[in-house]
Structure 1
Amino acid sequence: MRRRVLDALVNPSWTVADAALENAVRGRTVLVTGASFGLGEATARGLARAGARVLLVARSAGKLAEVADEIRRDGGEAHAYPADLSDPDAVAALVDKLLAEHGRIDVLVSNAGKSMRRSVALQTDRFSDFTRTIGVNYLGPVRLVIALLPSMREHGGHIVNVSTAGVRIFPGPRWGAYQASKGAFDIWLRSITPEIRRDGVAVTTLYMGLIYTRMSAPTPVMRRLPGLAPEQAAGLVYRAVIDRPRAISPWWAGPAELLTLMTRGVQAPFLSQVYRFSRDTPSALAFTGATPERRVGGGQAAQVARLLRTGAPVLRRAGVVAPLSLGTLRGMARAFQENGVSLATLAGIAAARWPGRVAVADERGRLTYRELDDRVRCLAGGLSRRHAIGPGRTVAVLCRNHRGFVEASLAASALGADLLPLNTEFPGPQLAQTLDRHPPAMIVADEEFRPVLADAGYAGPLVLAWEGDGPSPAKEQTLDALIAQDLPAPPRPEKPGRVVILSSGTTGAPKGIGRTPSPAGLIGPLISAVDRLGLRSGDPFLIAPPLFHGFGLIYLALALFLGSPAVLRRRFDAGDALRVIEEEKVAALAAVPVMLQRIMDLPQDERSARDTSSLRAVLTGGAPVRPATVTAFLDAFGPVLANGYGSSEVGIATIAGPADLRAAPGTVGRPVLGVPVRILDHRGRPVPAGTTGRIFVGGAMAATDRAGSAARADGLVDSGDLGHLDETGLLFIDGRSDDMIVSGGENVFPQEVEDLLAAHPAVADAAVLGVPDPDFGQRLIAFVVPAATAGTAGLDETLKGHVKKRLARYKAPREVHLVAEIPRTPTGKILRRTLKEGLTV
């Protein structure tokens, strides 16, 4: 209540009479720039409801078309014109087309803008920050106004400039590029107003206060300041259109402007202190080339302290930061003293804080955090005393998702040994290759994998984690038997062991990528996940992806961090997953994209029969997710879905929240806290927004070693993926660099074509690859799994036409092969190598 009152006092909105707005705009043509999101979208919808012919302009063609379609469905008239206003040729072509199709523009709402808050120390190698910001906020609007003026001076018109109150007050630290560009257009527009006023062209400038939009979202402090929702701020635009005043400002803008003039002599020292005690936003840090150490001004301890200070409000809301008793603090200190920096420490701290909470729930029942901690301590003692496990030795784990995997991993971590999670889908020969590259001192495995271990030629020590239905093995061969011996654990290791994550092996033999757990590497991604998914301590987590995969393992770490129950099932079944969500009151689900698709493929009555109201967050990742799947899942389950991007090489890089995905279903979001992300060209130079380049990622989770090490640039690691950023800083993956197809000199990214094919109602799944072609170098071939209800006669030609109508002709597949299944890894990545091998058979 107090927040709403404060918002109303500081940034009052404006309500206009419907009749007044209709009289002002009905039958008139209004051009709105930046119309795909936020204030521009809200303004366009309101003007269309009042009877205006609304022309929508923005860069994001897909969202622009969606807004126009919705306006038309609601009975309004809207036309979408995708254009980049920072491109002179695009502006000229746009105006020619607008005037040719509509004759005149009665009102221009110049709303397109780019926010930029970044300290100059982070911009020394990012001059593109300035050129892009000036292009969008100053030069682009100037070009558009100049191009429209001849018509407006002939017929009359009205220019509404959506500016910021920031141009009327003292320049703030980190806002230089933004305030300078907005101020430049404001001054230019005021300077030409006397020249065009007598020709019947009016000018109104809106000096807006804070509006809660995607532009303000990356700056956390903005969320705590008084502001307006886009729909409220649109009322001020309506007032400008009706009354045509010279300017509209918040009530405090005039006094603030006077204060700015009177206090120039003391502003610099004051603002220096503001700069000193404030900080760059995570998104500002993320897209710079600075390494974590340079950004935080120190080593890992300083970085951890900085991350914790930044994330403290998030952790308080989640219930992680709370008053603790002296006994709890002692237990937490003991966990760190015994285990050092390791996954086992997370479990030990959770046991000290929440001993009675459920830690693991699987088919065998439940373990509390106290029970889990006790079992891990005893198992560490058994592995050390009976198998000489410790620093410098490797424990391989070949288990499905159950308590045995968790216990073995935590015990190995507590001993300072290297942990090697093995893919449960490996056949014997592939497993043999992996064990040859990374020879383990012992393997912890489920009994069902004894045959594949024998096929791989493994004859070393074996401890069983999950027994089958056959004859029971000797008890000393099981985890439970080792735990029952209750042997004391050795002293804390001098240094932590590594976690060796195997790459997916989509292009060849899997490679082991090792990294040493560190607080600096874990804290930022964990805080970002908690924040963007709205998680709370104690929320039950259903972890569906295999724990041997980095995605499953990091979600397990997140559950331990929050003291939450990790709900595990040995195999995934979509219907069973919904049952578990209902019975366990699951609040957070981790699932790879193919799992989400299987849930959506269930009959509607089967999905609706389960009570999933407890589900507040669903994080997907590990493979590309189709935009159509994203939209369908959000429609079915509400705003709960988030999409994470990362890899074995770089760890977690970005997370897209539900609002991001609703606006742009294909995005993977913004960088997580403390992880820089840059898009570079082939020479290692930053590329502008909208341009595809190589994705480089930094942060403490970036791999410390790798067979066939990845390329690096300024301390950042090449992820192996290609992608681009949009004007708001959202990241989009365009494909793997080694999957790119060059056909007739044109670059084609398979994922774009695959997403389009998969969106066709006759297609259940699709994959696209390039094969040699004597004329074009490569040609595209599509593999399609027909939908269960689709006929196959003529489907190949239908799909070729479907692509040709929506993409450039060179992106259309020459051949379409109908197949029963697309080969994929357990996390859903397409095995293109297997598809190519099938062509040669």
Structure 2
Amino acid sequence: MDVGGARAALERGRRRVGALKDEALVVRRAVTQTGLLAALRWPGLKVLARELAKGRANPSLLFRYYAENSPSRIAVVDPRSLAPGAAGGGAEGPAEDRVYSFFALNEVIDRLGYALDRRGVGPGATVLLVLKNRPEFVMSQIALARVGASVVTASWRSTPAELSYLAGHSGARLLVFDADIADMIREAAPLLAGIPREGMIAVGARAAGFSHFDELLAERGDAPDRSEQAAVVMYTSGTTGKPKGAVRGFGRGVVLSALGAIGATPMRVGDVHLAVCPLYHLTAFGFVSLSLVLGATIVILPEFQPELFLEAIQRYRVTTTAVVPTMLHRVLELGEARIRAYDTSSLTAIFAGGAPLPPALAAEAMRVFGDRLFNFYGATETGIVTVASPEDLRASPGTIGRPVAGSELMLVGEDGRPCRDGEVGELYVRSPLLVSGYHRDPDATRESTLDGFFSVGDLARRDARGCYHIEGRKRDLIISGGVNVYPAEVESVLHDHPAIAEAAVVGVPDRAWGERVRAFIALRPGASASEDDIKAHCRAQLAGPKIPREIVFVDALPRNPTGKVMKRELVGPEEKPAG
């Protein structure tokens, strides 16, 4: 080796040692701060040492660990007693809650894994989960991870054509679905060429012509542990076209990233986490996973209703929950008096993400709930990469916060150079949670990567405090008269108007300007505002090309099931007249 090569090798070694020291600091701080170290018992320590030595760092390990370390601790609650209509009660009243300890749930997972293995499900096999929020979602996902299979989760609202695409693109061989959508599955079955009828398994009520989940649980045996080969394939929401499958494996870095994210929050051992977003979505999946790292109790709300949400917090003494901003908006619409009728004093953190959090909404939430609101940024492809504390949200309104330990962010301008503070550029992320790429789409993978960093096409800037702000999607950038207009900036101003409940901005073709700004507005109940009022409000805060040239009033913005605004539906030929 020449002198130059030796120096380069030495420098790489130094960087690696430095990275290891940083990782050790993250781990030590998180396990001390959260109470993980104090909660560790000898039986659990033996499991950790054995499994980590084998390279097993996926969610399956958590259930093996807690089944030994804290066997009687409650892992999952299905709150059937909460409301008869929402949780399965009949005329006789609410049903009883289904409650699973970590020990009991680990046994169920093992039996399920054994049954799946007997059906040839393991490394190289893909299983499609189409379930509502229920404990069987967690059971299935963990059991599939334990036997080394790949899991694809999909919305239970999917159409037969959408399921056909996901099953065909992912190569799924087994389908686990909610019995409530059995009719749709029957319609879709002829399109699911890779999944035999006996491989379609209903959960919940019995569905004629299909196998049932309980038949799997009736089989007794220990599942083979091939969890180091497991993967999750999460398909993007497809707001602009066909969804892309983001493939994520489980390595040592997953633990580091999880502890880094937890360290930026008030999450602790002993938490009770309320899962209210769809479990197939990153917001729910991410925070359920982080909570399980701490051995938290997960209360799985079957559906979101504002008062049901508040009642669950009160009844189960919920400490943390994760919502999309639309849910937060709907809760606040109840009014402060109705909200305060419920005891929410147990809450330590409300995590908001999955869509932009308007500064006005954040301010109102903190006024009503106190400094318990945390905004996070992440994507299917990146995991959670930034967290904004209540202090950040007050000092830097609209911020997504700072990178969590283990994540690196890079802003790249149109000229390919790194951006200075205040400049807008494309946001690239590097972290141990990055996906390995898009399933069967090397071109999309290549277009999204840069020197080990990954971009999902978001534009952002960093302020003088070191906090990051999302300015919109690269594809949503509006160029009007040669001026770059970032929709997020205009939408933030619109959300400041007291009569506006929600707003979305798009660019439409214009012969003179290239593009012009069109704003879609949904007013608050009982409020009124004219097009001239709204334009005057914008004119006081925005430069000329950024002021919406057109205002379109709508009853509500079109959103997908995870709360993202479907802007492509707003740019269509049909629109309501302003007024």
Q: Which residue of 2 aligns with 1:712?
A: 449
CA distance in structure 2 between the partners assigned to 1:304 and 1:576 by the alignment: 45
Partner of residue 521 from structure 2, selected from 781, 784, 801: 784
Q: What amino acid sits opposite 1:507 in the alignment?
A: T
Q: Structure 1 535/341 Cα, relative in aligned 2: closer, same or farther at 3 Å? A: closer
Q: Which residue of 1 aligns with 2:3?
A: none
Q: Structure 1 481/337 Cα, relative in aligned 2: closer, same or farther at 3 Å? A: farther
Partner of residue 541 from structure 2, selected from 806, 809, 813: 806
- TM-score of the aligned structures, taking structure 2 as reference length: 0.88
8 Å Cα contact 1:350-1:561 kept in structure 2: no
Q: Is 1:617 the equivalent of 2:349?
A: yes
Q: Structure 1 329/515 Cα, relative in aligned 2: closer, same or farther at 3 Å? A: same
Q: Which residue of 2 aligns with 1:606?
A: 338
Report how far residue 631 of structure 1 moved: 0.5
Q: Which residue of 2 aligns with 1:350?
A: 66
Q: Which residue of 2 aligns with 1:367?
A: 100
User: Could you report, residue by residue, the CA deviation over 1:183-204 in whole angstroms, capped at 9, with x for unpaired residues?
Assistant: xxxxxxxxxxxxxxxxxxxxxx
8 Å Cα contact 1:396-1:442 kept in structure 2: yes
Q: Which residue of 1 aligns with 2:226?
A: 493
8 Å Cα contact 2:261-2:385 kept in structure 1: no
Q: What amino acid sits opposite 1:422 in the alignment?
A: A
Report how far residue 334 of structure 1 moved: 5.5
CA distance in structure 1 between the partners assigned to 2:123 and 2:221 by the alignment: 18
Q: Is 1:316 the equivalent of 2:32?
A: yes
8 Å Cα contact 1:379-1:411 kept in structure 2: yes
Q: Structure 1 296/558 Cα, relative in aligned 2: closer, same or farther at 3 Å? A: farther
Q: Which residue of 1 aligns with 2:371?
A: 639
Q: Structure 1 603/815 Cα, relative in aligned 2: closer, same or farther at 3 Å? A: same
Report how far residue 330 of structure 1 moved: 2.6
Q: Secondary structure at the match of 1:738?
A: helix
Q: Which deviates more from structure 2 when the two are superposed, residues 679-688 or residues 499-508?
A: 679-688
Matches within 5 A, 1:24-173: none
Q: Structure 1 296/412 Cα, relative in aligned 2: closer, same or farther at 3 Å? A: farther
Q: Is 1:431 the equivalent of 2:163?
A: yes
Q: Is 1:398 the equivalent of 2:398?
A: no
8 Å Cα contact 2:77-2:300 kept in structure 1: yes
Q: Which residue of 2 aligns with 1:827?
A: 562
Q: Which deviates more from structure 2 when the two are superposed, residues 566-575 or residues 346-355?
A: 346-355
Q: Which residue of 2 aligns with 1:725?
A: 462
CA RMSD of aligned residues (A): 2.3
Report how far residue 323 of structure 1 moved: 6.8
Q: Which residue of 1 aligns with 2:203?
A: 465
Q: What amino acid sits opposite 1:297 in the alignment?
A: R
Report how far residue 495 of structure 1 moved: 4.0
Q: What amino acid sits opposite 2:219 in the alignment?
A: Q
CA distance in structure 2 between the partners assigned to 1:388 and 1:641 by the alignment: 45
Q: Is 1:650 the equivalent of 2:370?
A: no
CA distance in structure 1 between the partners assigned to 2:278 and 2:19 by the alignment: 31
8 Å Cα contact 2:55-2:228 kept in structure 1: no
CA distance in structure 2 between the partners assigned to 1:384 and 1:295 by the alignment: 44
Q: Which residue of 2 aligns with 1:286?
A: none
8 Å Cα contact 1:304-1:519 kept in structure 2: no
8 Å Cα contact 1:332-1:353 kept in structure 2: no
Report how far residue 444 of structure 1 moved: 1.0
8 Å Cα contact 2:74-2:99 kept in structure 1: yes
Matches within 5 A, 1:161-200: none
CA distance in structure 2 between the partners assigned to 1:558 and 1:648 by the alignment: 15
CA distance in structure 2 between the partners assigned to 1:295 and 1:783 by the alignment: 53
User: Could you report, residue by residue, the CA deviation over 1:12-66 in whole angstroms, capped at 9, with x for unpaired residues?
Assistant: xxxxxxxxxxxxxxxxxxxxxxxxxxxxxxxxxxxxxxxxxxxxxxxxxxxxxxx
CA distance in structure 2 between the partners assigned to 1:407 and 1:304 by the alignment: 34
Report how far residue 677 of structure 1 moved: 0.5
8 Å Cα contact 2:374-2:387 kept in structure 1: yes
CA distance in structure 2 between the partners assigned to 1:616 and 1:444 by the alignment: 35
Q: What amino acid sits opposite 2:132 in the alignment?
A: R
8 Å Cα contact 1:740-1:750 kept in structure 2: yes
CA distance in structure 1 between the partners assigned to 2:255 and 2:281 by the alignment: 16
Report how far residue 428 of structure 1 moved: 2.3
Q: Secondary structure at the match of 2:201?
A: strand
CA distance in structure 2 between the partners assigned to 1:760 and 1:317 by the alignment: 41
Q: What amino acid sits opposite 1:412 in the alignment?
A: L
CA distance in structure 2 between the partners assigned to 1:353 and 1:834 by the alignment: 50
Q: Structure 1 840/631 Cα, relative in aligned 2: closer, same or farther at 3 Å? A: closer
Partner of residue 424 from structure 2, selected from 666, 669, 692: 692
CA distance in structure 1 between the partners assigned to 2:100 and 2:187 by the alignment: 34
Q: What amino acid sits opposite 1:463 in the alignment?
A: I
CA distance in structure 2 between the partners assigned to 1:769 and 1:426 by the alignment: 26
8 Å Cα contact 1:339-1:493 kept in structure 2: no
User: Could you report, residue by residue, the CA deviation over 1:379-437 in whole angstroms, capped at 9, with x for unpaired residues?
Assistant: 0001111x210000101111112110000000110011111011223222222222221
Matches within 5 A, 1:134-283: none
Matches within 5 A, 1:291-690: 297=16, 306-322=22-38, 324-333=40-49, 340-362=56-78, 363=80, 364-385=97-118, 387-456=119-188, 457-458=191-192, 460=196, 461-467=199-205, 473=208, 477-490=211-224, 492-493=225-226, 495-524=228-257, 526-690=258-422
Q: Which residue of 2 aligns with 1:745?
A: 482
User: Could you report, residue by residue, the CA deviation over 1:156-200 in whole angstroms, capped at 9, with x for unpaired residues?
Assistant: xxxxxxxxxxxxxxxxxxxxxxxxxxxxxxxxxxxxxxxxxxxxx
Q: Which protein is richer in helix relative to its size?
A: 1
Q: Secondary structure at the match of 2:476?
A: coil
Q: Secondary structure at the match of 1:396?
A: strand
Report how far residue 814 of structure 1 moved: 1.4
Q: What amino acid sits opposite 1:545 in the alignment?
A: C
Structure 1 runs (4+) deviating above 4 angstroms are 293-296, 302-306, 333-339, 471-474
Q: What amino acid sits opposite 1:828 in the alignment?
A: G
8 Å Cα contact 2:201-2:212 kept in structure 1: yes
Partner of residue 773 from structure 1, selected from 490, 501, 510: 510
Q: Structure 1 726/620 Cα, relative in aligned 2: closer, same or farther at 3 Å? A: same
8 Å Cα contact 1:746-1:810 kept in structure 2: yes
User: Could you report, residue by residue, the CA deviation over 1:265-304 in whole angstroms, capped at 9, with x for unpaired residues?
Assistant: xxxxxxxxxxxxxxxxxxxxxxxxx9xx888506xxx967
User: Could you report, residue by residue, the CA deviation over 1:537-569 in whole angstroms, capped at 9, with x for unpaired residues?
Assistant: 011001111111122111111121000001101
Report how far residue 357 of structure 1 moved: 0.8
Which one has the largest radius of gyration? 1
Report how far residue 617 of structure 1 moved: 0.9
CA distance in structure 1 between the partners assigned to 2:376 and 2:14 by the alignment: 24
Q: Secondary structure at the match of 2:332?
A: helix
8 Å Cα contact 2:381-2:456 kept in structure 1: yes
Question: Taking every aligned residue pair, what percent have the same amino acid on both sides?
Answer: 32
CA distance in structure 1 between the partners assigned to 2:19 and 2:121 by the alignment: 32
CA distance in structure 2 between the partners assigned to 1:489 and 1:429 by the alignment: 34
8 Å Cα contact 1:514-1:704 kept in structure 2: yes
Q: Structure 1 666/323 Cα, relative in aligned 2: closer, same or farther at 3 Å? A: closer
Q: What amino acid sits opposite 2:399 in the alignment?
A: T
Q: Structure 1 306/562 Cα, relative in aligned 2: closer, same or farther at 3 Å? A: same
8 Å Cα contact 1:684-1:713 kept in structure 2: no
Q: Secondary structure at the match of 2:166?
A: helix
Unaligned runs of 5+ in 2: 1-10, 81-96
Report how far residue 325 of structure 1 moved: 4.2
- TM-score of the aligned structures, taking structure 1 as reference length: 0.61
Report how far residue 501 of structure 1 moved: 0.9
Equivalent pairs counted in the alignment come to: 538
